[in-house]
Amino acid sequence: MSGTERYLLPRNSLLWLITAQGLAIAPMLLVLPAWLMGLWTLVLIWRLQEFRGRWPMPGKWVKTLMVVVCVAGLFVSFGRLLGLEPMVTMLICALLLKQLEMQRRKDALLLVYLTFFLIGVQFLFSQTLLACLYGAVCLWCAISSMLSMHQPTGHERPWRSLRLAGRLFLHTVPLMILLFLVMPRFGSLWSVPSPTQSAKTGVSDSMSPGDFSRLSRAGGVAFRVSFERPRPPQDQLYWRGLVFSDFDGRSWSQIKGRNWGYREGALVNWQQGPKSDWRNDAELLGDDASEPLTYNIIMEASHQSWLYSLMVPVEFEQDPLYGVTRDFTLLRRQPVHQRLQYEVTSQLDYRLQPESLSPRQRKLELALPDGYNPQSLAKAAEWRQQSDSEQEYLNRVLAFYRDNFFYTLEPPALGRDSVDEFLWQTQRGFCEHFASSFVVLMRAGGIPARVVAGYQGGEYNPVEDYLVVHQYDAHAWAEVWLEGKGWTRVDPTAAVAPNRVQSSLGELQSDMVEGAMSLGRYRHLKWIGQLRMEWDALNYRWHKAVINFDSEAQNQLLNRWLGGVSPLKLVLFILLAGGGLLLLMSLHLWWRARPEPKSLALRQCARFERLLKRKGWIRPADEPIGEFASRVSSSLSAKHPKTAGAVSEFARLFELEQYAGTPVSASQWRRSLKNLQQTLRAL
């Protein structure tokens, strides 16, 4: 190639390369900066126009300007170059800019290899079954592009590369499955921290009026739960996430650091250390104490460090990353950036700190900010004075909610004194309004109380016997401390809208919490409801069988197959299984490429030629059988008329069947060849 020559990528290959790149980039545009879409569009138009001969290749100054724009975009979007999202954005920019300077074959191959890598990067953001199928389509297109570069006439048959790539891809699937099952599990590539700039999902670390009503419209799955024995009733499924004890007059948050009011001991009991004494503050009660409830949770990425469980969690994952706080919230040292599976054993019948609270903790759980919600504080003091006991006061407040309030996903906005405005003016709200105002009334009446945030209920999937907890199931409730009973769950939302805690919010108001394109919006149609359950169950099985296939699951599988795992057994298994798969693939390829079977006439003709070849007569490849037979008969007719007649007779039979379409029986062929063989012996 001279200095002025430039490699022209075949049209077919350019088509599949652009398609593969576009498909690989598309899902990441949902979490990466929007300006990448503009860059991709510009590069695509420029490349197509250059291919058509309308525009020249970009010059040095144009390419320099585009690099500067990309670097500036990175700093404006992220403020840094290190991190997952900036590095992925930089990779996409490099891939797109390389497209504009592709002038040699090796440039084109480099683009294909970068596209392969980019397809793998997709799985840093999602590992669902749909993402896997989507990635396979991207890979199919990328392989098609690479194959078409080596097909001189590929542009004449654009779908040939796609079909060939599909066959090659399918041939690799068995070997890929084998390697997936036997290769050592060192941790997945996507276990690295996931997008840090993307919005956090699920319950946040604070609660203000309107937070949960907005979350209820977010859609999506929070986690899935499978139980080892029949699941509890719906109104007992309170999935504890966070406990809020600090109130600034409008928002609730967790108590920070040393402000906790506990007497002694660490605030978090991590699994690598001994079991803290304060975990005995949860006194287990009733017949269920001998039958704790064990369940398995598959939690979607929340980018937060807290987990969810039923109260009270007595056992959970034996991993140093897991721990439990003083208020019995499960924690993980690392935020949940990808799907996470963990197991918990909970005791549902319990008393938490039934004896007493420390003076400092009591003070913290009774604290209210000065100068906020004066009307509510005054009314609470009046009601408490009129009540003979804490329980009577609590019941009076619940009756007040039951008789005067309405449950709605569209509560009116509240101002500075949000509790006063809600209790005495709007009286319309969502769970966070009821929980927040209820705890304020309890504290104002001298009863220690706090807000608990998490999820309530869930939707049962009978296909795989598990519970799906959606984002719209996010819920807030209260815990009050009563003498002799300890911390007791009280849900004022249940007093206002009992159906909310007896059914999933999606079942009650699917048109409000599901998007227009969501199948959940049309769950009242039986076939759509069944389709939803089947698809969700398929994703559930995918995660348990594939994404969660760790070293422990691999060892269990290989122990069942091999009766124990050792290096020798593993090597022999890989050699035998891999060799068997390669042999089957080779046989399949040979079978597809084998020549078509010859007809009976052609097989007999081959025998005819072999008989004459022994006597020195050889038929050229371009000589018809009839002419060959005439040539042999002419040379034999004078001295060996019988042999000449046998040759002519065979030629006649061959032409009858091969050209005239007249069937010749097997016995006729045998007699003709036998006669020829006998006459040739006399020569």
Give the residue numbers annotated as catalytic, written as ranges.
Answer: 431, 475, 491
Burial 54-78 (b: 16+ CB within 10 A, else e): eeeebeeeeeeebeeebeebbeebb
In whole angstroms, what is the distance from residue 393 CA to residue 487 CA? 16
In whole angstroms, what is the distance from residue 616 CA to residue 552 CA? 73
**Tokens encoding 124:** 């840093």
Q: Which of 295, 288, 308 is nearest to 242 (CA)?
A: 308
**Tokens encoding 483:** 């003498």
- Sequence-separated (6 or more) residues with CB below 8 Å from residue 583: none
Q: Specify the DSSP class assigned to residue 284.
A: E
DSSP letters of 529-585? Answer: HHHHHHHHHHHHHHIIIIIT--HHHHHHHHHHHHSS--HHHHHHHHHHHHHHHHHHH
In whole angstroms, what is the distance from residue 80 CA to residue 78 CA? 5
In whole angstroms, what is the distance from residue 347 CA to residue 213 CA? 30
In whole angstroms, what is the distance from residue 669 CA to residue 604 CA? 7
Count Cα neighbours of 409 within 13 Å in the Cβ-side half-sphere. Answer: 18
Pairing of strands 406-407, 428-429: parallel
CA distances from 477 to 231, 245, 348, 629 (A): 21, 12, 17, 101
Torsion sign across C-alpha atoms 84, 86, 89, 91: negative
